[in-house]
Amino acid sequence: MDTTLDDPLVGRVLDGRYRVDARIAAGGMATVYRALDTRLDRILALKVMHPALAADGVFVDRFIREAKSVARLAHPNVVAVFDQGTDGPYTYLAMEYVSGCTLRDVLRERGALRPRAALDIFEPVLAALGAAHRAGFVHRDMKPENVLIGDDGRVKVADFGLVRSVDSVTNTTGSVLGTVSYLAPEQIENGITDTRVDVYACGVVLYEMLTGAKPHNGGSPAQVLYQHLNEDVPPPSAAVPGLPAGLDELVALAAARSPQLRPSDAAALLGVTLEARARLTDAELDAEPPRARAEERPASEDRTSVIARPVTAQQPVHHTSRLESPAPIPPRRRPAGGLRAPRRGPLLIVAGILLALGLGAGVWYINSGQFTKVPNLLGKSEQEARSQLSAAGLGVKGVNRKFSDAFDRGTVMNTDPPGGKRIRGNDAVTLTLSRGPEVVSVPALKGKPLAAAKSELTAVGLAPGIVTQAFSEDVAQGSVISSDPAGGEKRAPDTAVAIVVSKGSPVRVPSVTGRPADEARSALEGLGLKVGTAAEQVNSASPAGTVAKQSVGAGAQAAAGDTVTLTLSKGPRQVQVPDVTGQDVDAARKALEGSGFKVKVDRPFLSFSDTVESQSVPGGQNAPEGGTITIKTKGL
């Protein structure tokens, strides 16, 4: 039945700003509404504490703590908190509105999910919790109701109302807040909450996504709590035959009853999850589970409650007037054969004797000194990871690289063994580094200096390719004109990107051949060109000390800063002049030109002879190569 019309808040404007339009959901501590922020004209969700609890300072503090802690996270998979305030009896949080449904709605409708779909939801949940854990917070109430799936497919974690600082590990004696189906054994038994209680709850949620049912069945909350303490979460394949062993192992690791056996936090579990997914085939990921609707469970098992814990003779009892305590939790089962756990008294006596004999240090070394915990390295650079491992007395066994959308290129996305795992000192750890996403967008490089362009390509996982140069009127010299592939195109990581770099505006090189060396240098440098001089001089028709040759020809294009090398002349080469007197003109011309001379014929007036009578440079003497020799024919 729609109770929206009976809700006194619907239609009201809280704090003169938030118009309450409809009720979305109601819980044990608060009601969530769809509202309009009239100041910014945007739809948001308004979480309003029940007025009966607003007078309780503890709950108000929890509300405010949620606002502050979530506002600090600023993670794409965490429902954002925009504002917090009070209007009369109503204490509220203004939050991001996610149009869609909860994971509980999906499980109720579909039952078990395909492994791929389950992991597609599980991984962003772990990313959100990992960010919270790194920021110093524990969620403490992870369950499908707090996983929102938007109409656009985005996954977000909500309801950090029970969030607590990681540093303030609790050990309460009377009661614990949470949802019975997802409470970790240490929460129930000792009231201890650290990041690993969220890891345990995630293991239960993953089991539920893979099977469509919760791992522990009970007729009452007390029976479910008893099973958490005394029974392991069963492998999902026991309920859904054919599920890969890797998923059984993932659930067993996350939902281990001993917190020491679980990954240290959600970020570590994300790394293990990514590794497990990588080992699954497409057929295993897309295997269709049995189509059965999710089991119907008592609402009390899905509601956040104050749960009474077992009380020993030494523990003071803390009562709560808000909820009735459930039935007493049955005692732990005795081991097979009726063996009882040894009493502490004799153990303390033995320990005292060992210490008196000076053996205590040896016992400590045998039991714990040989082992160390693998540090949590996810998100660290390879250098940082190696440094932390070295500080812990551990080495690096090897380095693998895999694609990842969740971790930046070059950072640690997984370790083997995982973070938090106890291994022997001096052992080694295998690192898996992220190669970044499988598809990379080529950055826009035009106008950027070559060094900056190469750095940008490397940063996104692409490789700088062949660099060529071209003239450009509008791109500064040394900056990028274009790239191939062009900016915005998608390519696989490590793809080479060719770069065309500007040589600047072209300079037309003048002819300086035959000009004195100093004059030629001034002319070229005046155009922004550099001038070099060849070490060797050559013989040429140009006078000694003038330019015989230039490395860039006249009329060619060069860039400012390009070098033109000048070769200087040491004057013409001296060549012996052949004796052509007495020869006919044609034979003489041929002989002289063959020796490198130019020939001029001088015929006297009215001379009809073709015989050479004389030559301007006598035969046998030397003359400059390329010079002119005049031959004269006989006259009348």
Low-confidence winner among 38-52, 323-337, 424-438, 563-577 (lowest mean pLDDT): 323-337
- Same domain? For 63 and 114 the reply is no
**Strand bridging mode 175-178 / 305-308:** antiparallel
Of 97, 112, 130, the position where a domain reaches its end is 97
Check pLDDT > 70 for residue 12.
Answer: yes
Evaluate whether 204 touches 182 at the Cβ level (below 8 Å): yes
- How many CB atoms are located within 10 Å of the residue 291 CB? 9
Low-confidence winner among 91-95, 206-210, 215-219 (lowest mean pLDDT): 215-219
Check pLDDT > 80 for residue 57.
Answer: no
Estimate to the nearest angstrom the gap between the alpha carbon of 539 and the chain centroid: 66
d(CA 268, CA 380): 12
- How many CB atoms are located within 10 Å of the residue 349 CB? 10
CA distances for 448 relative to 97, 103, 509, angstroms: 41, 47, 28
Evaluate whether 243 touches 115 at the Cβ level (below 8 Å): yes
Model confidence at 311, in pLDDT bands (50, 70, 90)? Answer: very low
Check residue 291 and give its pLDDT. 64
Of 487, 502, 517, the position where a domain reaches its end is 502
Percentage above 90 pLDDT, the chain: 47
Evaluate whether 512 touches 552 at the Cβ level (below 8 Å): no
Task: Report which residue type is found at 42.
Answer: R
Query: Backbone dihedral region of 100: left (phi > 0), alpha (psi from -120 to 50 degrees) or beta?
Result: left
- Same domain? For 123 and 268 the reply is yes
Q: Is residue 533 part of a domain?
A: yes
pLDDT digits 0-9 by tens, 559-613: 888 899 999 998 888 899 999 999 999 999 999 999 989 999 988 876 678 899 9
CATH number, residue 86: 3.30.200.20
Evaluate whether 626 touches 578 at the Cβ level (below 8 Å): no
- How many CB atoms are located within 10 Å of the residue 295 CB? 14
Mean pLDDT of 322-342: 32
Looking at the annotation, which residues are catalytic?
Answer: 141
pLDDT digits 0-9 by tens, 461-509: 888 999 999 999 899 999 999 999 999 998 887 788 999 999 888 899 9
- Same domain? For 222 and 184 the reply is yes
pLDDT digits 0-9 by tens, 90-131: 889 899 999 888 999 899 988 999 999 999 999 999 999 998
Check residue 174 and give its pLDDT. 39
Q: Is residue 58 part of a domain?
A: yes
Give the number of C-alpha atoms closer than 13 A to the C-alpha of residue 74, restricted to the C-beta side. Answer: 1
Instruction: List the one residue out of 401, 155, 374 whose CA is nearest residue 278.
Output: 401
Q: Is the peptide bond before 417 cis (omega within 30 degrees of 0)?
A: yes
**Strand bridging mode 137-138 / 164-165:** antiparallel
Q: Is 2 helix (H, G, I), strand (E, B) or coil?
A: coil
Of 310, 344, 360, the position where a domain reaches its end is 310
Residues with Cβ within 8 Å of 348's Cβ and at least 6 positions away in sequence, in order, are none
Residue range of the domain that includes 381: 369-438
- Same domain? For 130 and 146 the reply is yes
Q: Is residue 582 part of a domain?
A: yes
Q: Is residue 364 part of a domain?
A: no
pLDDT digits 0-9 by tens, 85-96: 889 888 898 999
* Dihedral in degrees, nearest 10, Cα atoms 142, 145, 150, 155: 20
CATH number, residue 180: 1.10.510.10
Check residue 22 and give its pLDDT. 92
Check pLDDT > 50 for residue 315.
Answer: no
Mean pLDDT of 408-423: 86
- Same domain? For 273 and 142 the reply is yes
Tokens found for residue 197 = 């209680």
- Same domain? For 474 and 548 the reply is no
Check residue 334 and give its pLDDT. 32
Residues with Cβ within 8 Å of 479's Cβ and at least 6 positions away in sequence, in order, are 446, 447, 448, 449, 450, 501, 502
Q: Residue 517: enclosing H or E segment and its boundaries?
A: helix 517-525
d(CA 20, CA 129): 30
Check residue 29 and give its pLDDT. 75
Beta strands in 389-462 (DSSP E): 395-402, 412-416, 422-424, 428-434, 440-441
Mean pLDDT of all residues belonging to the chain: 81
- Same domain? For 420 and 292 the reply is no
Check residue 295 and give its pLDDT. 53
Query: Backbone dihedral region of 18: left (phi > 0), alpha (psi from -120 to 50 degrees) or beta?
Result: beta
pLDDT digits 0-9 by tens, 353-382: 333 333 333 333 323 345 688 898 988 999
- Same domain? For 141 and 84 the reply is no
Residues with Cβ within 8 Å of 364's Cβ and at least 6 positions away in sequence, in order, are none
Stated pTM of the model: 0.48
Q: Is the dihedral of CA 411, 416, 421, 427 positive or negative?
A: negative
- Same domain? For 410 and 545 the reply is no
d(CA 277, CA 472): 50
Q: Residue 44: enclosing H or E segment and its boundaries?
A: strand 42-49
Evaluate whether 538 touches 549 at the Cβ level (below 8 Å): yes
Low-confidence winner among 240-249, 261-270, 422-431, 501-510 (lowest mean pLDDT): 422-431
Q: Is residue 77 part of a domain?
A: yes
* Number of residues that this document lists for the chain: 636
**How many domains are contained in the chain?**
6
- Same domain? For 160 and 75 the reply is no
Q: Is 255 helix (H, G, I), strand (E, B) or coil?
A: coil
pLDDT digits 0-9 by tens, 166-176: 443 443 333 44
d(CA 236, CA 542): 95
Q: Is residue 66 part of a domain?
A: yes
In this predicted model, which residue has the larger pLDDT, 35 or 606?
Answer: 35
Check pLDDT > 50 for residue 420.
Answer: yes
- Same domain? For 46 and 2 the reply is yes
Q: Is residue 72 part of a domain?
A: yes
Q: Is the peptide bond before 244 cis (omega within 30 degrees of 0)?
A: no
Q: Is residue 346 part of a domain?
A: no
Check residue 636 and give its pLDDT. 62
- Same domain? For 174 and 285 the reply is yes
Tokens found for residue 579 = 């004796």
Model confidence at 302, in pLDDT bands (50, 70, 90)? Answer: low
Burial class from Cβ neighbours inside 10 Å (0-12, 13-18, 19+) for residue 85 reads: middle
Check pLDDT > 90 for residue 68.
Answer: no
Write down the residue that tokens 């003239």 correspond to: 471
Burial class from Cβ neighbours inside 10 Å (0-12, 13-18, 19+) for residue 606 reads: exposed
Can you give the three-state secondary structure of 144-207, one letter per residue?
HHHEEEECCCCEEECCCCCCEECCCCEECCCEEEECHHHCCHHHHHHCEECHHHHHHHHHHHHH
Buried b (16+ CB within 10 A) or exposed e, 436-450: bbeebebbebbebeb
CATH number, residue 380: 3.30.10.20
